[in-house]
Structure 1
Amino acid sequence: MYAEAQEAGDAVARQFQANADLVDDLVDRLRQRPPRFIVTCARGSSDHAATYGKYLFETQLGLVTASASPSVGSVYAVKPQLQDALFVAVSQSGKSPDLVRNAEIAKAAGAHVVALVNVTDSPLAQIADTVLGLHAGPETSVAATKSYLCSLAALLQLTARWSHEARLFDAVHALPDALREASRQDWSALVDGLVDARNLFVIGRGLGLGAAQEAALKFKETCGLHAEAFSSAEVKHGPMAIVGPGFPVLAFAQDDGTGDGTVAVAREFRQRGAPVWLAAPGIHGGDSLPLARSLHPAMTPLITVASFYKAVNALSVARGHNPDLPPHLNKVTETV
């Protein structure tokens, strides 16, 4: 897991180069026939990437983006009205039967199906109208790391070219080096603080919510540590009642309009006696966790997660677990 996470910068650079023409062709099509809305479909870490994609598409393109429940198509056999939609399926393996079935339904309904997959000859890729390979290379650790970051990077590259927003172009260009720098950040304070923990919250908001979801999953699968992810807004609607002395919180703040609110929630929890670690651009010292430089809020979740992966791998080992082989899990999960 550690070695694969460290490869993310190189993998993203490889992906950007390999997919440039494909993304431009897709963007030309989308400009000629603009979709009415976007639908994402994914599970696990890929669904956390899709959460990021939702906020990215809605904030940068102004296109309403919804998450499809795979069971609606695969179990309930419902065929949603997806004519003139962009259907984005995200899957490292491209083999899960429910995702494949939903892509078939979307295509038959008149949606343009885009597959973000690491295995470009997979069943999902064979159905898609456009295949954007993740180019992460082999990933043998059960816990996805570089393939998750490559999924986010593919969404970022597509959005930058579609939007023609100069700062997003700059972020895409800078991302590989930023990921390499992120993997060198020292988050040992988080590792030391969670060695004996049993529960925690991970909070984020907006573009950073998917990163919080991904972190909570990694705590569970690699560390045997129960973690729940919440929006820093939603956590105030009930869940925060259990936060107090001894209840740890990891907060991911964004360098956008959601950032102040997340920092304020972290501060409130710290005042209650909860151990709090905050990763926020521009905030240093105390219990804050260092971040590599971000050129755009859409870039921030990627460098945050890259630093987190190094820390959670170390925490897994410190807690006596094998981060590469979590119990009861397989690399490819095939749900129907």
Structure 2
Amino acid sequence: MAVDIGEQPEVYARLSEPEHADAIAAVAARVAARQPRHVVLTARGTSDHAALYGAYLTEIRLGLPAALASPSGITLYGARPDLSEALVIGVSQSGGSPDLVEVLRVARAAGALTVAVTNQPGSSLAEAAELAIDVAAGPERAVAATKTYTAELLALLMLVEGVRAGDGALPAQERATLAVLPELAALTLADPTATELAERYRFAARLVTTGRGYAYPTVREAALKLMETSYLAALAFSGADLLHGPLAMTDPDVPVLAVVGEGPGGTAMREVLTRLGERRADVVAVGPSPVEGAAAQLRVPALDERHAPLLDILPLQQLALALALARGENPDSPRGLQKITTTR
């Protein structure tokens, strides 16, 4: 898992190389030409959080309604929704889950434009889709997905921005950001703070993760990593939902990982942090700027809010790894889990 986490700067650089960037641009151009009326994403597990990020990008950057599909509606109940004017994107690191393949098959038969985003270009999902994007993360050693998750994030970002451009080509400013992303990721991973925090929280019984907007997929993914590697009860809430009831369970004995960026999502988190302060919650802030009242901070370089998830998750992956080791667990092979999970 440590090696997989450490390779993410390299993966970012690889996806930005012409071989892969041009392939994503070609898919984006095809999507733009079809002018879909809405976008449906389908995924499971870690990839579901990448798909959620894709949904935020789609609605904010493209102005199109976006939703996450319920695969069981199609596979268990035989539903056949009208997807004739939709773009349907299947996101899966393995591309091998039968239910996701079936969603793309049904959507394509209904007239939807279908795209597979996967780390296995020859997978069943890629074959079922009309178009496919290879996230080019390379073999992932650990069961818990890390570099394939961030590769999916970057591929979806490049796809959406290419569609927004109309011809698939990324604007110069976007290319400039992607050019520095590997260096910023390496700087983030070089900070030892996340590993040092593991000793502080090794005996925690439960934990809360929270964030708003683009940060919400990050907190969902962070909670999953903590659950599957440390067997820690980690509950993820948007900052807004946290205030609608779950705030009551926070106290000094329940650590809260709060992702606080510098855009609208981070601004909206200020009220959440104030309320957490009233509860005397033990808050660890993730973001580029100091957060008043936080017990600790995982600092990341400042980026536009839509790019921030590519960095924010990195120290949280490191924390999950270090916490699992501190608790005497094996994060490379969590009990009861396999690298490829097939659901129907």
Name the counterpart of 1:15: 15
Whether the aligned pair in 1 keeps the contact of 2:285 and 2:291 (CA below 8 Å) is no
Deviation above 4 Å: which 4+ runs of structure 1? none
In the alignment, the residues of structure 1 paired with residue 270 and residue 332 of structure 2 have an alpha-carbon distance, to the nearest angstrom, of 33
In structure 1, the partner of 2:264 is: 257
Shift of 1:284: 6.1
**Against the structure 1 CA distance between its residues 294 and 114, is the aligned structure 2 distance closer, same or farther, given a 3 Å change threshold?**
farther
The letter of the residue matching 2:231 is G
**Equivalences for 1:48-59 in 2 at 5 Å?**
48-59=49-60
Instruction: Give 1:306's aligned residue.
Output: 314
- Cross-structure match for 1:42: 43
Alignment of 1:64-213 (within 5 A): 64-164=65-165, 167-185=173-191, 186-188=193-195, 190-213=197-220
- The alignment partner of 2:207 has SS state of strand
Instruction: Measure, in 2, the Cα distance between the counterparts of 1:107 and 1:70.
Output: 14
More displaced stretch, 263-272 vs 150-159:
263-272
Pairing 1:214-233 to 2, within 5 Å after superposition: 214-233=221-240
Distance 1:40 1:61 in 2: 15
The whole-number CA distance in structure 1 between the counterparts of 2:97 and 2:5 is 23
Structure 1 position 268, deviation (Å): 2.4
Within 2, Cα distance between the matches of 1:239 and 1:168?
38
Query: Which amino acid is 2:158 matched to?
Result: Q
Instruction: Give the superposition deviation at 1:27.
Output: 2.3
Contact 1:167 1:296 in 2 (8 A): no
Question: In 1, Cα distance between the equivalents of 2:194 and 2:222?
Answer: 14
Contact 2:284 2:298 in 1 (8 A): no
Residue aligned with 1:206, SS: coil
CA–CA distance in 2 between the matches of 1:258 and 1:283? 16
Deviation, structure 1 residue 167: 4.4
Which residue is 2:249 aligned to?
Answer: 242
324, 327, 330: which one aligns with 1:319: 327
Confirm or deny: 8 A CA contact 1:179 1:303 kept in the other structure.
yes
CA distance in 2, matches of 1:94, 1:62: 28
Partner SS state of residue 183, structure 1: helix
Specify the code of the residue in structure 2 equivalent to 1:147: T
- Between 1:163-172 and 1:321-330, the stretch displaced more is 163-172
Q: Distance in 1 between matches of 2:318 and 2:83?
A: 40
Equivalents in 1 of 2:145, 2:212: separation in Å? 22
Identity level (%)? 38
What amino acid maps onto 2:341 in structure 1?
A: T
CA distance in 1, matches of 2:144, 2:270: 29
| Larger displacement relative to structure 2 (6-15 or 316-325) | 6-15
Give, in angstroms, the shift of residue 312 of structure 1. Answer: 1.4
Secondary structure of the 1:322 match is coil
Mapped contact 1:280–1:288 kept (Cα < 8 A): no
Indicate the larger mover: 250-259 or 1-10: 250-259
Measure the CA separation in 2 of the matches of 1:278 and 1:49. 21
1:334 aligns with 2:342: yes
Mapped partners of 1:226, 1:161: distance in 2: 38
Residues 108-142 of structure 1: per-residue CA shift (max 9 Å, x gap): 01111111111110101111111111111111211
SS at the partner of 1:258? helix
Structure 1: where are the runs of 5+ without partners? Answer: none
Which of 277, 284, 290 lines up with 2:284 in the alignment?
277
* Aligned amino acid, residue 177 of structure 1: E
Residue 96 of structure 1: how far off its partner (Å): 0.5
Q: What amino acid is aligned across from residue 295 of structure 1 in structure 2?
A: L
Q: Give the 3-state SS of the residue equivalent to 1:58 in structure 2.
A: helix
Runs of 5+ unmatched residues, structure 2: 166-170
- TM-score (normalizing by structure 1): 0.95
In 2, Cα distance between equivalents of 1:218 and 1:321: 13
